[in-house]
Structure 1
Amino acid sequence: MPRRTASLLSVLSTCALLLAGCANPSTGSAEDDPTKPVTLRFWHGWAEKNEVKAINDSIARFEELHPHIRVKAIGNVTDATVNQALRAGGDDAPDVVSSFTTDNVGQYCSSGMWVDLDPFMKKTGLDKHRVFPTALLDYTSYRGEQCALPLLADAFGLYYNKDAFKEVGIERPPRTMSELKRDAAKLTRRAKGGGYERVGFMPNFRLYENSPERLFAQWGPSYFDKRGKARLAEEPAAREFFATQRELIRRQGGYGPLERFRTSFGDEMSSQNAFLTGKLAMHLDGEWRGRSLKDAPFAWGTAPLPVPDDRPETYGRGFLTGTVVGIAHSSTHQNAAWELVKFLTSDTDQVVAFANAIHNVPSTKAALASPELDSDPAFRTFLRIAGNRYSSALPASINGGQYVASLQDFGYAVESGRVPDLGKGLRELDEQIDADNLQAQN
C-alpha cells in the first residue's frame, strides 16, 4: 500500500503531540521473563482487508513459535492516536507499535517514547548490519539510537507505457535526466483545443506520489551537515534538481497548462488514475502500483528512475521509505515485545511471506535475495532498487517531517515561478529549516 506524503497539518499535529507530551514518558521495564505467559498489545496502521489478513497470519505464525505469548492486534491506528496512548501509559497502552511515517523516527528516538533496540539486539545476537540494508537502518535510527526497525519497505521507480513508447519510436525507458527530458517531450501529445491528450512525464509536485524528495533522491543529496545544519543552498544537486524539473515543465508546455491537465486526473487509487487511463506515458510510483495495473488496456513496464547525466554509474538507485516498528517505552513486557519485533522484522520466511501478501518490498538482505519472493518482473525491478547501494532514504530529524514539508512548499513555489532567484530561495529554505529545528530542541 502506498505511504502517502503526510500533510503539513498532520506532520505538525504529530510534532505537537510528541513534543508536548514526551518530557516524562511513562516508564516501562525490560525485566520481564519472555518465556512466561503474557499478552502483548500490537498497534498498527494497516486497514485494507488483505493487509489485515496478512498481519493476522503473521501473528498466528509468531504465536505458533511462541505459544506462551498472545498478541492482541489493533489496526488502522494513526501516529497521533499511538502517541496519545504512549503519553498516558497504563494497561491499555500498546507494547509494540508501528508507523508508516518514517519522518517521525527522529522524534520517536529523541523523545524516549520508543525504546533503544540495540541492547535487545546485542542480548539476542542479532547483527543489524548483517540483516538490514544500510538505507533502511538510516531511516529507523536517529543520532546513533536504533529505536525502530524496518517492517517492509517501499521503493520508488518509473512506470512506463510500452505502447506509447512504440508509437513514437522509443525503444527503452530513459536512464539519464537528458533522456527523460527528451522522451517526455516526444511522448507528450497535445489536444486540438490546446490542452493535452497525454503528457510524457508530469513533473508537477502535487501529482500523486510526486513529492519533491522522491525525485531529488536521484541526485543523492545531503540535507544536513555534520552539525545538523541544513545545507541545501550549498548542495549543487539542489540547483541541478530544480533546474531539471523546470526544464521538464518548459519542454512540455509550461506550468499553467500542465497544472490544468493535472487537475483533470482521477483519484490516485481509483480506476481513473492518470497512468492507468493513458494520460501519462511515464510515472513515478512505488512497487504497490503494479497490482492495480494487471488489467491495464496497454502494455507497461517498470524501470529505475533516471539519474543525472554525470552520474551514470548510479543508475538503478531510487528513493526508499517504509513501515517502521518499535517497542513502547511504557511497556512492562519489553523482552516479550522484542521477541515479536525480532520475528516480524528479521525472520526471513516471515518477511518474505508478508512482503508477498501485501506486495511491498522485503526489508532484510536475506529476504530480498529469496527465491520465494513474487517472481513478477515488474515487482522485481523494485527489489533491485531497494538493494542498490546508491538508493537512499530521508535523514531523520528531531522535528520529524517538518523539513520535508518545507521542501515541498518550496518546490510548489519553484515550479510555479515564484522563486526567481533559486540560490536566495535555497538559503532562505535552509534558514527556515534550521529555525524549525532549533525551536523543536527548546
Structure 2
Amino acid sequence: MPRWRIRNGVPAALTAAGLLLAGCANPSTGSADDDPTKPVTLKFWHGWSAPGEVKAINASIERFEKLHPNIDVKATGNVTDETINQALRAGGGEAPDVVSSFTTNNVGQYCDSGMWVDLDPFMKKTGLDKKKTFPKTLLDYTSYKGTQCALPFLADAFGMYYNKDAFKEAGIERPPRTMSELKEVAAKLTVRSGKDSYKRVGFMPNFRLYQNAPDRLFAQWGPQYFDADGKSNLADEPKTYDFFKTTNELIEAQGGFDDLEKFRATFGEEMSSQNGFLTGKLGMHLDGEWRGLMLDEKKAKFDWGVAPLPVPDDQADSYGRGFITGTVLGIAHSSKKQNAAWELVRFLTANTNQVVDLANDIHNVPSTFAALKSPRLDADRRFRTFFKILENEHSQALPQSTNGGSYIVSLADLAYSVEAGGKKNLREGLKKLDDQIDADNLQAEN
C-alpha cells in the first residue's frame, strides 16, 4: 500500500473517453433506489498491483460474494486516481460503482465536488456507528467539512526502523525519544569512509529520501496547517520554524547536505534489495509498517527493530505519536447501484474478520477498533508497534483541503530549498507559501 506505486491498467479506450469528457459540467448522477438483495453486478476499481496484494483483494471479494451471492463484483486493479477521476466525471455505464484510492489527500476534493457520495445516510440506514467503529484520526482524513464521503480501507502509520546491530556497536541502549536524543544518536551511528563519503549515516532527514516527504516528520510537532478561517498558517506556526531548525541541525551533525546527498545517490530503489536501510547504509529510517514485510522477505542481514519517531523536546509527553494515512474507499456519485455498492464498502471496511484478514495478508494497519484488538492479528510485536502509533491520541493525519494535497506539494518545494541552504529568510519564504496555498485553494473553490 505504499504511495510509491505507479498504477495503470484500465483499457485505453475508457481512459481516452474519460479524457474527452473530463470537463463535463453535468456528469451523470446515480441513485440509491436499487434493491441490494436483487441480482446485480458491481464494478470495483482499486490501485493494488503486486501479485500478493491482488490475490488478497480477490480473496476479500470472494468472501463478500459468499455472504451476498446475489452480488457479482468485477474488480479492476492497478488503476490510477487520474483514470478514476476521468471516468467518474464522464459517468455512464463504464464508470466504477466502488472506488479506492491510495491518495488520502484527495478526499477533500472527492467530498466537496460530490464525486464520491456522502456515506452517512447509508451508515444510518444500516446501523453502522462510525465513531464506535473507526479511530477519530481515520474519520478525519476520510471526511471534509462534515461530509463523510469515504471510509478507511486499512491504514498506514509511520515510525522509525533501527539497526539493532549498529546500536549495539555504538553502545546505544534504546531508540531516541526526543529530537535532541535523535541528533546525538544519529551522530554516534554515523561512520565516515573517507573525506566526503560514508559507510553509514545515522538518520538521513533529506526530504527526497524514499518516504521522507516533509509532512511525515513534521507530524511529530503536531502542526496546525490552517487557522480557524481556513487560511494557511505555516508562517505563523512556531512549530514550522523548530521543524526546519531541527532538520538542518540533523543534517549538519552528520556532515552537511552536500555529503549526505552524494551518499543518498548511492542507494538503490526504495523497494529493491539495494534499499539504503536494507543494505546497512542507514542506522535509523522513517518508514511505514509495510517495510517490515520487505525486510523479512529480503532477509535483512542484521537484527532490526521498530519504535515511534522521536518528538520535540518540549513535547516529550507526546512520544508514541506518528504520521497517519491510508487507503480510502467510496461510492461513485454516478453509480445507480449505490445500496449494493454500500454493502461492499461496509464489508470491506467494517467487517472485523475481513479487515483482520486483509491486514495480515498485505501487512497494513487495521482500521477499526475491533480489528485492532483481534487475537487473529499478526502477533509480530514490531508490526504491532504501528497499531499503537495509530491509536496514540497525538498522532496526526493531514487536514483535508478542497484543493487536495497541492499544499503539501508546495510545502515540499520550499523544504527542498531550505534543506539545501537556499532560503536564508525562512519567514519570508513561508509567507509567500501561505499566500500561494490560499490562492490555490480559492481558485479550486471557484
Q: Shared fold (TM-score greater than 0.5)?
A: yes
The aligned runs of 1:195-234 (5 Å cut-off) are 195-234=197-236
1:121 equivalenced with 2:123 (yes/no) = yes
CA deviation after TM superposition for structure 1 residue 194, in Å: 2.9
Aligned AA (2:344): L
| 1:94 corresponds to which of 82, 96, 120 | 96
CA deviation after TM superposition for structure 1 residue 68, in Å: 0.7
Equivalent position of 1:280 in the other structure: 282
| 2:430 corresponds to which of 405, 426, 431 | 426
Equivalent position of 2:378 in the other structure: 374
> Number of aligned pairs?
433
Equivalent position of 2:62 in the other structure: 60
Aligned AA (2:191): R
1:41·1:71 contact (CA, 8 Å) conserved in 2? yes
- Closer, same or farther in 2 for the Cα pair 1:424/1:217, shift >3 Å? same
Equivalent position of 2:319 in the other structure: 315
How big is each residue's C-alpha offset from its partner over 1:109-137, in whole Å with a ceiling of 9 and x where there is no partner? 11111000011111111111110011101
Aligned AA (2:146): G
1:188 equivalenced with 2:190 (yes/no) = yes
How big is each residue's C-alpha offset from its partner over 1:269-303, in whole Å with a ceiling of 9 and x where there is no partner? 00000001010000000000001212111111000
CA deviation after TM superposition for structure 1 residue 187, in Å: 0.6
- Closer, same or farther in 2 for the Cα pair 1:74/1:50, shift >3 Å? same
2:24·2:89 contact (CA, 8 Å) conserved in 1? yes
Equivalent position of 1:248 in the other structure: 250
| 1:138 corresponds to which of 140, 143, 150 | 140
Looking at structure 1, the residues matched to 74 and 218 of structure 2 have their Cα atoms a distance apart, in angstroms, of 40
Looking at structure 1, the residues matched to 252 and 22 of structure 2 have their Cα atoms a distance apart, in angstroms, of 45
The aligned runs of 1:355-366 (5 Å cut-off) are 355-366=359-370
1:345 equivalenced with 2:349 (yes/no) = yes
User: Percent identity over the alignment?
Assistant: 72
1:25·1:329 contact (CA, 8 Å) conserved in 2? no
| 2:294 corresponds to which of 283, 292, 295 | 292
Cα RMSD of the aligned pairs, angstroms, is 1.6
- Closer, same or farther in 2 for the Cα pair 1:282/1:271, shift >3 Å? same
CA deviation after TM superposition for structure 1 residue 91, in Å: 1.3
Query: TM-score, normalised to structure 1's length?
Result: 0.96
Looking at structure 2, the residues matched to 97 and 200 of structure 1 have their Cα atoms a distance apart, in angstroms, of 41
Looking at structure 1, the residues matched to 26 and 331 of structure 2 have their Cα atoms a distance apart, in angstroms, of 17
Looking at structure 2, the residues matched to 356 and 60 of structure 1 have their Cα atoms a distance apart, in angstroms, of 17
SS in 2 for 1:21: coil
The aligned runs of 1:266-277 (5 Å cut-off) are 266-277=268-279
CA deviation after TM superposition for structure 1 residue 25, in Å: 2.8
| 2:154 corresponds to which of 146, 152, 155 | 152
SS in 1 for 2:161: strand
How big is each residue's C-alpha offset from its partner over 1:307-326, in whole Å with a ceiling of 9 and x where there is no partner? 11111111110001110000
Looking at structure 1, the residues matched to 137 and 22 of structure 2 have their Cα atoms a distance apart, in angstroms, of 30
Equivalent position of 2:2 in the other structure: 2
1:393 equivalenced with 2:397 (yes/no) = yes
SS in 2 for 1:150: strand
2:44·2:75 contact (CA, 8 Å) conserved in 1? yes
CA deviation after TM superposition for structure 1 residue 57, in Å: 0.6
How big is each residue's C-alpha offset from its partner over 1:236-294, in whole Å with a ceiling of 9 and x where there is no partner? 11111111000001111111111111111111100000001010000000000001212
Equivalent position of 1:13 in the other structure: none
Looking at structure 2, the residues matched to 296 and 193 of structure 1 have their Cα atoms a distance apart, in angstroms, of 28
Looking at structure 1, the residues matched to 25 and 129 of structure 2 have their Cα atoms a distance apart, in angstroms, of 31
SS in 2 for 1:230: coil
2:232·2:438 contact (CA, 8 Å) conserved in 1? yes
Looking at structure 1, the residues matched to 238 and 131 of structure 2 have their Cα atoms a distance apart, in angstroms, of 31
SS in 1 for 2:378: coil
Looking at structure 1, the residues matched to 112 and 205 of structure 2 have their Cα atoms a distance apart, in angstroms, of 36
CA deviation after TM superposition for structure 1 residue 24, in Å: 2.3
CA deviation after TM superposition for structure 1 residue 5, in Å: 9.2
Equivalent position of 2:27 in the other structure: 25
CA deviation after TM superposition for structure 1 residue 90, in Å: 1.3
1:95·1:334 contact (CA, 8 Å) conserved in 2? yes
1:330 equivalenced with 2:334 (yes/no) = yes
Query: TM-score, normalised to structure 2's length?
Result: 0.95
Looking at structure 1, the residues matched to 225 and 124 of structure 2 have their Cα atoms a distance apart, in angstroms, of 31
